[in-house]
Structure 1
Amino acid sequence: MALTQNYKLNVIQWYPGHIAKAEKNLKEQLKRVDVVLEVRDARIPLATHHPQIDEWVGNKARVLIFNRVDMITPQMRDLWIDWSKRQGETAYFTNAQHGQGVVAVSKAAQAAGVELNQRRSSRGMLPRPVRAVVIGFPNVGKSALINRLLGKRVVESAARPGVTRQLRWVRISEQLELLDAPGVIPLKLEDQGAALKLAICDDIGEAAYDNQLVAAELVDILNYLQHIAPNLLPQKPLESRYELDSTPHTGEAYLHALAEHRYQGDVERAARQLLTDYRKGFFGTIPLEIPPDYQ
């Protein structure tokens, strides 16, 4: 992916002050938390793994959640389930918008807290609700998940990154309390390929990237995945949508060809359309990552 190498993010836009503040508050609150629910985007589970989360979680229980399962195929989901097992973790798959998989997440969070109350009981202390926190990048579906866990809409949820600004506790049940935290972005993303995938999936703030660069990278990724794992993607998704085959082109060349073909040479419009169509699922259920050890 040639574009990835020279891609530079504007750090000021990349790391707004409210996220810096949120991270500081989050670290404070984490001392009071028993269980961490880590939410990732099922299309890019590696890119949406926060590099500091292992350090934050320490020896607390963790529940790993891949949200937007509706945007990948069942076959892809099975590959990620197997991959997670090889990492020693159980992955839970949700479509938080529609409530799919949420009951299993709630049970997993409560089960992780059973041990806590057994310890309290052995010391002669009364049981208390398990305290869980939901952590993930902006716009991966954390607020939608919390609303589903609660069964009512208490947390503002929107399809734009950075809606949740404050940290707040919400009572899910007698057994479970949840801390809703703003999306946390690493101070610096060393892996520029991951940064581009976050931009493609709209999991970072819009001001942080160049649409044409990001759309060209999307085309490069789709061409690459069609080449190495054709059975995991719909056949020629861009050609099906735009009647223009992407495989002979680099991402950048395809963007210009598409602009000529459909948008009177307007490359920016072509880029925006490509990104919108991918995000809305108009190319089909397409992952941007496959497990690293996929054969």
Structure 2
Amino acid sequence: MEQIVRNLSTLAIILGLGCTAVFGIKPGGRYDTRSITQKYPNVTFTRVTTPDRYHLQLADIAPTGKDKHVTVLICYPDSGNVKEWLGYGMLLAERGYRAIMFDYRGFGGSDRFRIERDTLYCDEFCTDASTAYTYIKKNYPSSKVGLFGLSMGSIMTTALALKHKGDFIIGDSYVADLDSAIAKIEHIYGKKMTVPASSYDYNGDLAYVRQPMLLLNGRYDTICEPNSAAFGGSKHVEAIVYNGGHLEGPRALKEGYFGRIDRFIGGLDKDDMDERSSIHPYAILLSVISIGLIFQAIRRRRSFI
């Protein structure tokens, strides 16, 4: 009963975040890490350094449920900080996953960074996500790693995935059509967004994502519409459309939101086992050829006797 109450309390925090994406970067300020670690002993804060020498604040959230030896890197949206989005990591931890969260440069406890107004995202955020991924591989080398992108954060997960990083991807309000998202923000909110020059090939690059994916999108999301077809190169895509708007998955599905994530990740283990236990067609062909060669050798040997 105590566990259920704790889950609902954590979920209640997330429910208040449903529509906080502002479609234009709005960093959250610094926060007291000690108050978080005192309340949640499984959370450890550390500093990591990017290749271009920026220092990021990173939260390492140890599993409180039975350890599944899976680490999930969470890339949050265009506003807030780790403290504001911590509920996602805590609920994953309760299901046995290690969650890694970090503040982008210019956000929360990370180094200050100048961000141009009405910018959708910065290339440097992809560098920050890559630095957090490197932390995972260094500290948990045997762990399977998932990439969890929320709205703008899904652009970071895409950048990682295209570099063959991560074993699977989860996305809520995934940016699956960057050009469309920019046009809709301008039309609906009257904000003309700028993006880095590197985003030119973003839509086309989505077809080269190979990792299995779970996509959660709101039926009434006016910016990031469901578009699983954009990921035609993925090994497997599961698309869930919930009755809600932008980033309202937890609000719409409640506990079922994280239950759906849990089943997706668990299903990947089953798929791996099935793949390993199945006989590849080429193996069958090779066996047939080998048997044929053996019979031919026996016949030739008998003809000499």
Normalised to the residue count of structure 2, the TM-score between the two structures is 0.28
Indicate the structure whose relative CO is greater, using CA pairs within 8 Å and at least 6 residues apart: 1
Flag the structure with larger Rg. Answer: 2
Higher strand share: 2
TM-score (ref. length: structure 1): 0.29
